[in-house]
Amino acid sequence: MSRIPTTVITGFLGAGKTTLIRHLLQNAKGRRLALIVNEFGDVGVDGELLKGCNDAACPDEDVVELANGCICCTVADDFLPTMLKLLDRPNPPEHIIIETSGLALPKPLVKAFQWPEIRTRATVDGVVALIDADAVAAGRFATDEAALALARAADPSLDHDSPLEELFEDQLACADLVVLNKTDLVDGDALARIEGSLSADTRAGVKIVRADHGAVDAAVLLGLLAGAEDDLDARPSHHDSDPDHDHDDFDSFVVTGGEIGDMAPLEAAMARLIAEHDILRIKGIVAVGGRSARLVIQAVGPRIQQHFDRAWKADEPRVSQLVVIGQTGLDQRAIALALAAELGTELAAGIA
């Protein structure tokens, strides 16, 4: 029996994984793809957006969300049964795409393909690491040595380097292909410098391709034939000696509210909060009064983007939800209060 090729798409928060997958689906040329989508945080925005593309290429039943935690920590409980269900379908997919959360370590997921129930039926065709050229150029993954020294002084048991840098290096070290995305935001010289610096963390022979809005040809992304699960020793991870890896370094929370009248005040509040707090990512779907379509809000670092996607369904409550992700220590209460005020709601219980 031939094994179903599976592509693992990894990359830090907001690097453009969902955008790349959407492009891939729209250019699948009849190939039957299934998606497994995993996010950090309790609300699955990415799955919603992929389903919301209203495209024959991505029917809802082929988008499976894993929402109970980060995929690298829930491999046994969530990923394995989901994968088996896909493989057991009477008409199984020709290729499976897994979008990992931006905080996931790819290696534990690839290792799951060694499990007896999976290894005879699926193989990791390739691990693709997306890199946000804009974020790298702005130095957002570089270790802030002064901040690290302060953190170590406050907590001498701190045994690792900057969590952002470690994740970045882990995702690169596991990759079979690197996509340098958001090339529209960075000039050619900076791109060349970034490519030079990335090769220090990639394995020998791994290619870097440039992309604007994740537009990479399916022929480049799929069919890498890497068999990554048989090649794990060549993919070093900071957590090889720490199987109890968790995501204590990062926090996420959700603010839920009703319809807003106008986007401008919410955008101004988000810009202010991003400038004042160490927020890595905000994303969500917002209901705007008088508009039939959902407004998608995306913030990656200081950059805030918005667009309308599909129309609200008749039986769907017009609820606004924003997911906020940052490093641990974020002033959740202040941020949530400010966003709740914009969404015309009280602060939800459970926010510290």
Query: Within positions 99 to 158, which residues make up the interface with ligand GTP, using CB under 6 A?
Result: 102
Determine which residue in the list 77, 117, 145, 184 makes contact with ligand GTP, applying CB under 6 A.
Answer: 184
Task: Give the rounded distance of the alpha carbon of 211 from its chain centre.
Answer: 17
Query: Within positions 293 to 312, which residues make up the interface with ligand GTP, using CB under 6 A?
Result: 298, 300, 305
Which span (9-17, 261-269, 328-336, 342-350) binds ligand GTP, by CB under 6 A? 9-17
- In whole angstroms, the minimum distance from the beta carbon of 84 to ligand GTP comes to 24
Query: Within positions 202 to 221, which residues make up the interface with ligand GTP, using CB under 6 A?
Result: 212-214
Separation of alpha carbons 70 and 63, rounded Å: 17
Residue 340: phi and psi, rounded to 5, are -60, -40
Count residues contacting ligand GTP (CB under 6 A)?
23
> Containing H/E element for 173?
helix 163-173
**In the structure encoding, which two tokens stand for residue 351, read together?**
């926010």
Which span (10-18, 23-31, 149-157, 261-269) binds ligand GTP, by CB under 6 A? 10-18
User: Tokens 């906020």 appear where?
Assistant: 324
CB of 5 or CB of 102, closer to ligand GTP: 102
- In whole angstroms, the minimum distance from the beta carbon of 214 to ligand GTP comes to 5
Inter-residue contact 170 to 238 (CB < 8 Å) = yes
- In whole angstroms, the minimum distance from the beta carbon of 77 to ligand GTP comes to 21
- In whole angstroms, the minimum distance from the beta carbon of 139 to ligand GTP comes to 18
The 252-281 site mask, x for binding ligand GTP (CB under 6 A), equals -----------------------------x
Separation of alpha carbons 208 and 219, rounded Å: 15
Q: State the helix-helix crossing angle for 263-276 and 332-342, rounded to 10 degrees.
A: 170
Separation of alpha carbons 249 and 246, rounded Å: 8
Collect all residues with Cβ–Cβ distance below 8 Å to 228 and sequence separation of at least 6.
Answer: 8, 110, 113, 124, 126, 127, 174, 176, 235
CB of 16 or CB of 126, closer to ligand GTP: 16
- In whole angstroms, the minimum distance from the beta carbon of 124 to ligand GTP comes to 19
Output DSSP code: residue 185. Answer: G
Which span (140-148, 152-160, 181-189, 342-350) binds ligand GTP, by CB under 6 A? 181-189
Separation of alpha carbons 167 and 102, rounded Å: 9
If binding is defined by CB under 6 A, does position 11 make contact with ligand GTP?
Answer: yes
Query: Within positions 17 to 36, which residues make up the interface with ligand GTP, using CB under 6 A?
Result: 17-19
CB of 135 or CB of 260, closer to ligand GTP: 135
Distances (CA, A) of 57 to 25, 68, 211, 282: 6, 26, 22, 27
Separation of alpha carbons 4 and 123, rounded Å: 6
User: Which residues lie near ligand GTP (CB under 6 A)?
Assistant: 11, 13-19, 39, 46, 102, 181-182, 184-185, 212-214, 281, 283, 298, 300, 305
